[in-house]
Amino acid sequence: MTRTNISRRDLLRAAAVLGMSAPLLGACVTGGGPGAGPGQRGERSAGNPFGVKAGSPLEVVVFKGGYGDDYVKAAEEVYRRQHQGSAIEHRGIQQVGDTLRPRFVANTPPDVVDNTGAGALDISALAAAGQLTNLAELLDAPSWDDPNVTVRNTLLPGVVEDGERDGVCVHLNYTFTVWGLWYSKSLFDRQGWTYPATWEAMLALCAEIKKTGIAPWTYQGKYPDYVTDPLLTMAAKSGGMDLIRALDNLEPGAWRHEAVRGAAEAFAELAGRGYFMPGSEALSHTEAQAAWCQGKAAFIPSGSWLESEQRDVTPPGFEMTLGVLPARTTADKLKPTALEASSTESYLVPAQAKNIAGGLDFLRMLFSRNACREFARTAGTLPSVAGATDGLTLSSGLGSVSAAVRAAGTELISFRHRGWYPQLRKATDDAVGELITRRLTPAAFADRLQLAADALAKDSSVKKYTRR
């Protein structure tokens, strides 16, 4: 962030979240500290727009999840060629928050961080404490592929906004993730099933599927957020952008809106009719997805990383396909093709990094079209750079994702409150878990989350954000 007048309240909040002390945080403001001063920059040029100092080492820490980290290593090779003599220390890890909190406490963070995965660092707290570099310099720099086009203008719609806090972009997301319901097209073809366009048709199809001995649905029970996404998407399609803004802006009564309650009723009905595979509640994401790949269930909710994550266990000819969430009513405010999609896999440059210029230039290379094209080819996922998949032969999964995004047009749904307020995100996911195991009624679900949102809105220690 660019501001340096950080309130003590912000510092104390960030200290509580990150396990830091306020004095340490107080020393960290964007634009100051090691790596930010003129002495840490070399001469700027067309090929070196940030002034990376000759021979300056670069440290990159990456979340090594379903996408692996080979695509990052490939970008590092490009960086080495561009900045000869610069050594790169690369670490692929999984527990980003636990690993890096001590580094932030000591004011010795890496130069580039892929802040992703369970237990990731709280970006809002880091931003409030001035721990993140303002990426405007990167966004306005010439892109790696075409010096006449800025990095900003190579990105898909919404990517910059997804990385903003208080109107300042503090992280850039690498993947463009789409959420929906996944099914095997070959299974559906063999059975003569048609993907349902309405929720009424979904319930009728589930009854037909159940008769074959296949469970209509399974889900990643240990991680109920996999169901939160389709439930909120259903609510958003019914309630429209006004409801999405109301939820994000913590408006009174938003969680008791008819569209939210109706979506909760729809998913509770799935459970009530026995359409979830028995035992799903206890399954991890890998266990539920393996059962689905084995044909034990017809549908599973997930994001567009699924194809890559299941690559080693997906049977030949499975034809993994993403379907948009069926419309709940004929009066939905968004069209049937609307779907949840936003950028994910957050890359940031800490404000206290030793080599901020190197971190920015590395991201310029990582977000190049060629790097993103290779990522799309190997990971089976849409990158955040426009045109990265042009000319590629797409797999069934990625092809269905790309087609869904094209069909949705501008009606791409995203929920900012889930990134802005981790405590509300957890409350929502916990409530969804209770709802679909029939331990919470739809009405109680809406009431519980409205109370949680109201308490958050009144909590002056939590920084608030506004969606326009």
pLDDT in tens, 378-431: 887 899 998 898 888 999 999 999 899 889 988 999 999 998 899 999 999 999
pLDDT in tens, 420-435: 899 999 999 999 999 9
Residue 401 lies in a domain: no
Residue 38 lies in a domain: yes
Same domain, 190 and 265: yes
What is the secondary structure of 48-59 as a DSSP string?
Answer: BTT-BPTT--EE
Same domain, 71 and 95: yes
Residue 399 lies in a domain: no
The token duo for 404 is: 């869904």
List, in sequence order, every residue forming a beta bridge with 155; answer none if it has no partner: 385
Same domain, 130 and 195: no
The token duo for 129 is: 């404490």
Task: Inform me whether the pLDDT recorded for 303 exceeds 60.
Answer: yes
Q: Which segments of 133-275 are extended strands (E)? A: 164-165, 168-169, 172-184, 215-217
Q: Which 3 state secondary structure label does DSSP give 342?
A: strand
Same domain, 285 and 352: no
Q: What is the DSSP letter of 296?
A: S
CATH code for position 144? 3.40.190.10
Same domain, 277 and 382: no
Same domain, 13 and 99: yes
CA dihedral 161, 465, 336, 265 (to 10 degrees): 150
Q: What is the DSSP letter of 331?
A: T
Is residue 354 within 8 A of residue 107, CB to CB? The reply is no
Residue 64 lies in a domain: yes
Same domain, 92 and 142: yes
Residue 385 lies in a domain: yes
Is residue 48 within 8 A of residue 360, CB to CB? The reply is no
Query: Under 8 Å CB-to-CB from 353, ≥6 apart: which residues?
Result: 34, 35, 59, 109, 110, 111, 112, 133, 359
Same domain, 56 and 181: no
Separation between Cα atoms, residue 458 and residue 164, nearest integer Å: 23
Same domain, 25 and 152: yes
Residue 405 lies in a domain: no
Separation between Cα atoms, residue 358 and residue 80, nearest integer Å: 11
Task: Inform me whether the pLDDT recorded for 20 exceeds 60.
Answer: no
Same domain, 122 and 151: yes
Domain encompassing residue 83? 8-173+347-393
Q: What is the DSSP letter of 315?
A: P
CA distances for 84 relative to 11, 54, 87, angstroms: 39, 8, 8
The single-letter code of the amino acid at 274 is G
Same domain, 148 and 243: no
Residue 463 lies in a domain: no
Separation between Cα atoms, residue 379 and residue 366, nearest integer Å: 15
* Mean pLDDT, residues 256-280: 98
pLDDT in tens, 105-164: 999 999 999 999 878 999 989 999 999 999 999 999 999 999 999 999 999 888 999 999
Separation between Cα atoms, residue 295 and residue 274, nearest integer Å: 17
Task: Inform me whether the pLDDT recorded for 74 exceeds 70.
Answer: yes
Residue 3 lies in a domain: no
Same domain, 64 and 163: yes
Separation between Cα atoms, residue 338 and residue 325, nearest integer Å: 8
Domains contained in the chain, number: 2
Is residue 153 within 8 A of residue 47, CB to CB? The reply is no
* Mean pLDDT, residues 330-357: 96
